[in-house]
Amino acid sequence: MVAPKAIQWQTNKIKFEEKDGKKFVIKSFSTVKPALIFALYNIAYFLNSTSKLALKNEYYFPSVKKRIENEIRGRKVLSYLGFKTPRIYWYDEKSICMESVDGEKLSDFYRTKEIKITEEISKRIGWRVRKIHDSGFALIDCRNENYVIKNNEIYNLDLEFFTKASEFQKMCDIVTYDASALNLKPEKCKAVIKAFHDGYGKNLTRDEIIYIMLFSLIFPFSLKENFIELANRNFNLYMLVKDF
């Protein structure tokens, strides 16, 4: 199912260009995108505060300027930790121009590759996310579509919400990653989530499953998934809760 453009989930504008044989990407930041993503994030934050009866200042709604700063700072931190990201060539007050990574988006990679290969990559991503967290940072939007695989190397894209992180914000990485795997075939989904947690070094918690449920209730409104993916999402979520 492909929804008409006007009612699709608003994202940033991504333009692929080529000049003098060099490919690059210009990302122009939408002001609407964080309103949608952060409605979800701030609902989760609200529930977290209510259930713990604590109000820490984790409300987050970065401006376009801040999101561009996050993209730059995220690259610095990740490259310091030895992880790959597309290099930025220039930026202005509403766009960044970066190297184009000519690989396969992780969401497509998971759909098409054998289970063994998907497990290997997912375990490496779990380990990478753990290293980022142990350094005091989080990505916030850790969905598999924000990674590219090229020559067996993992690249992080979409660092606009990269931030110095609280425990709740670190949990958002685990929740968004696992929730983004729920549209895969059941066997693949189970393998990807298990491998991620093996790499991260921690099993799924009850709280994380509750936030994955919240994310999955709202995700269909993005109109990004076809009917089979939505059916997988519901079945995989059911199994995740049942097996806990």
Ligand X SMILES: Nc1ncnc2c1ncn2[C@@H]1O[C@H](COP(=O)(O)OP(=O)(O)O)[C@@H](O)[C@H]1O
Q: Give the footprint of ligand X on this chain (CB under 6 A).
A: 11-12, 14, 25, 27, 33, 86, 98-101, 105, 145-146, 148, 157-158
Count CB neighbours of 237 within 10 A.
Answer: 19
Residue 74 or 126: the one with the smaller Cβ distance to ligand X is: 74
Binder to Mg ion among 122, 144, 146, 176 (CB under 5 A)?
146
Q: How far is the CB of 170 from Mg ion (least distance, A)?
A: 19
Binding to Mg ion by residue 178, rule CB under 5 A? no
Q: How far is the CB of 239 from Mg ion (least distance, A)?
A: 27
Among 244, 162, 221, smallest CA distance to 43 is for: 221
User: How long, in residues, is the chain?
Assistant: 244
Residue 105 or 131: the one with the smaller Cβ distance to ligand X is: 105
Residue 105 or 194: the one with the smaller Cβ distance to ligand X is: 105
Q: How far is the CB of 56 from ligand X (least distance, A)?
A: 26
Binding to Mg ion by residue 71, rule CB under 5 A? no
Tell me the C-alpha distance between 61 and 190, whole Å.
Answer: 32
Query: Which range in 73-81, 103-111, 156-164, 175-183 contacts Mg ion by CB under 5 A?
Result: 156-164
Residue 43 or 103: the one with the smaller Cβ distance to ligand X is: 103
Binding to Mg ion by residue 158, rule CB under 5 A? yes
- Residue found by looking up tokens 């505060």 in the block: 49
Q: How far is the CB of 26 from Mg ion (least distance, A)?
A: 15
- Helices 206-218 and 167-181: crossing angle, nearest 10°? 60
**What are the structure tokens assigned to 215, written together?**
């994310």
Taking only Cα atoms into account, the Rg of the chain, rounded to an integer number of angstroms, comes to 17
Q: How far is the CB of 158 from Mg ion (least distance, A)?
A: 4
DSSP string covering 82-137, please?
Answer: T-B-PPEEEE-SSEEEEE---SEEHHHHHHHS-HHHHHHHHHHHHHHHHHHHHTTE
The distance from CA 6 to its chain's CA centroid, rounded to whole angstroms, is 23
Task: Tell me which of Mg ion, ligand X, none is bound by residue 105, counting a contact when its beta carbon lies within the kind-specific cut-off of 5 to 8 angstroms.
Answer: ligand X
Tell me the C-alpha distance between 12 and 36, whole Å.
Answer: 12
Q: How far is the CB of 20 from Mg ion (least distance, A)?
A: 27
Residue 64 or 204: the one with the smaller Cβ distance to ligand X is: 64
Q: Quote the DSSP letter at residue 160.
A: T
- Catalog residues that contact Mg ion under the rule CB under 5 A: 146, 158
